[in-house]
A and B are shown apart, each in its own frame.
Chain A
């Protein structure tokens, strides 16, 4: 049982990835040079990960010595990876922050097409959540504030009733489609 005590370090996240519904990488970051040093190994891992997770919504899996927590929506899959000894709930907090940030940036249209339209902002958001393996921010409100949404974007608080209704409709539509 020795050695399973956790290292007192801020470096807890080994990787973050967003994959599409074919298992192709939309965006991915790996923070530990010792695991998957090249893109080839990373993509092989992602393929394996996707095959094991895309049907079951089990939320957590151990694969290749990593603990991976995940969530999916319509045609996107969100993953956060940590070492197999890591506190799973910390990883889950990071995952929820990633998902909620993307969801807020895309105005609840969490789907591939919308994500590619806002790819720059999503890149910035991923960067605000995790820096080199350290969780920078776990509150999606703070992340969204920091990614500098474009000036023609309206903050959630200032939307009109019609806009809120519209986004509610969209949300309902997608929940039915799932």
Chain B
């Protein structure tokens, strides 16, 4: 412990090279971006400082931001990979403050369709942060291509950006559903997850389409644990709506129940959480969900213990008898080193346990 403190004191001298930088001087330095020959190392460092200041909560005025933004566009002439990536990041960070940001559209469109995969994904994300609805039509073709790109980074970037865009240009993004569907069959787990997210977002107002989507996917089986979690949530949403088509309910429920036997804890927990929170779940149907939560109570991972005891706490509110079987496990958690877990265990026991068990 003493050693650690010494180490800290020694570091206080030069621990943070960014500690004393000031906005005005950094903005001054940023003029170096306009130099005819770009020094990548130097410019990357300056740009890092600008982004660090923004991240620290420093506020740039519109004129200041616009000036930096325009200086930054000059850096497109450099071929340095890190610098280019920082420029994309800078464009996204400044796009909401600076004016006339659409000036970089053509540079970004070029990078988005170029050969360098590392540039393409980042360029798509930057481009989508500066385009408005009217401009979007001009890049629609490229977006559709990017969604179905073989490179997972490019495809994911396009899918996620589309979802962001859907907030402002919902109607246009709806037309990309076929591409999203194609991307969904990708081998990459993240692409599958993002594609499902976009597909659901586009169709969520059309109940029949969602039912069709879910019933197809529950049979097919998904590779991505994240996507399975999302599917469970969509299924729950359908189950909670009252006017459901006959017959779908039992398939949806049995799908969620089957996820209790999934190989990843992430999905098992998601399914258990869904089971106990569904309004229609009966006490008997709760049993398998409660027993997996009971198992999670004794794992070595605090977040998993926390998740389990928090969910059991919810069950105890409506079905205290279903949780009684876990009392012994909950009693062990009273002395847990994580205070939140201990507190939750106690409040749960207060609902389910007899006086004697709390005494111990």
User: For the complex, is A60 an interface residue (Cβ under 8 Å from B)?
Assistant: yes
Q: Which residues of A contact B170 (CB under 8 A)?
A: none
| A interface size (C-beta, 8 A) | 60
> Is B86 in contact with chain A by the CB < 8 A criterion?
yes
Within 8 Å by CB of A87, from B17, B81, B269, lies B269
- Min C-beta distance of B13 to chain A, whole Å: 11
B55 to chain A, nearest CB (A): 6
Give the complex CA separation of A87 and B266 in angstroms.
Answer: 8
CB distance from B111 to the nearest CB of A (A): 14
Asked if B193 contacts A58 (CB within 8 A), the reply is no
A73 in the interface (beta carbon within 8 A): no
| Interface residues of chain A: helix, strand, loop or mixed (majority) | mixed
B219 CB-CB contact with A under 8 Å: no
Interface of chain A residues 1 through 56 with chain B (CB within 8 A): 1-2, 4-10, 20-21, 25, 27-29, 38-40, 42-43, 56
- The closest CB in chain A to the CB of B239 belongs to A5
* Cβ of A69 to closest chain B Cβ, rounded Å: 6
Residue in contact with A136 in the complex, picked from B160, B279, B302, CB distance below 8 Å: B160
Return A115 CB to nearest CB of chain B, in Å.
9
Is B360 an interface residue, CB under 8 A from the partner?
Answer: no
Q: Does B245 contact A (CB under 8 A)?
A: no
How many residue-residue contacts, CB under 8 A, span A and B? 172
B171 close to chain A: CB less than 8 A: no
- From B44, B197, B273, B303, A9 is in contact (CB under 8 Å) with B197
Q: Verify A136–B8 contact, CB threshold 8 A.
A: no
The answer for the CA separation of A89 and B204 in the assembled complex, in Å, is: 25
Would A5 and B233 count as touching, CB distance under 8 A?
Answer: yes
Which of B121, B164, B193, B337 meets A56, CB within 8 Å?
Answer: B337
**Contact code string A97-138 (vs B, CB < 8 Å = 1, else 0):** 000000000000000110011011101100100011011111
Number of B residues with CB within 8 Å of any CB on chain A: 73
- A115: nearest chain-B partner, CB-CB: B16
Bound CA–CA A157/B328 (angstroms): 48
Given A62-B340, A116-B17, A150-B82, A5-B269 contact (CB < 8 Å): no
Interface string of B262-281 (1 = CB under 8 A from A): 00011001100110011100
Knowing A124-B89, A146-B153 are in contact, say whether A58-B302 is a contact too (CB < 8 A).
yes
State in angstroms the CA–CA spacing of A121 and B274 once bound together: 38
Given known pairs A42-B57, A121-B82, A127-B89, the reply for A58 and B164 (CB within 8 Å) is no
User: Taking A58-B340, A89-B266 as contacts, is the C-beta distance between A75 and B11 under 8 angstroms?
Assistant: yes
Instruction: Write the nearest CB–CB distance from B273 to chain A, whole angstroms.
Output: 7
Is A90 part of the contact surface with B, judged by Cβ < 8 Å? yes
List the B side residues contacting A164 at CB < 8 Å: none
B322 within 8 Å of A (CB atoms):
no
Instruction: Give, as a whole number of angstroms, the nearest-CB distance from A129 to chain B.
Output: 11
B residues less than 8 Å from A69 (CB atoms): 303
B56 at interface (Cβ–Cβ under 8 A)?
yes
Residue B15 lies at the interface, judged by CB distance under 8 Å to chain A? yes
User: Would B85 and A89 count as touching, CB distance under 8 A?
Assistant: no
A-B CB contact pairs (8 Å), 21 listed: A5-B233, A6-B273, A8-B230, A10-B163, A42-B57, A56-B337, A58-B337, A60-B302, A75-B15, A87-B266, A88-B303, A89-B270, A91-B303, A112-B16, A116-B16, A120-B44, A123-B51, A131-B164, A137-B156, A142-B152, A142-B190
10 closest pairs, A vs B, by CB?
A: A39-B57, A10-B197, A58-B338, A8-B233, A59-B302, A88-B307, A148-B81, A120-B48, A89-B266, A8-B234
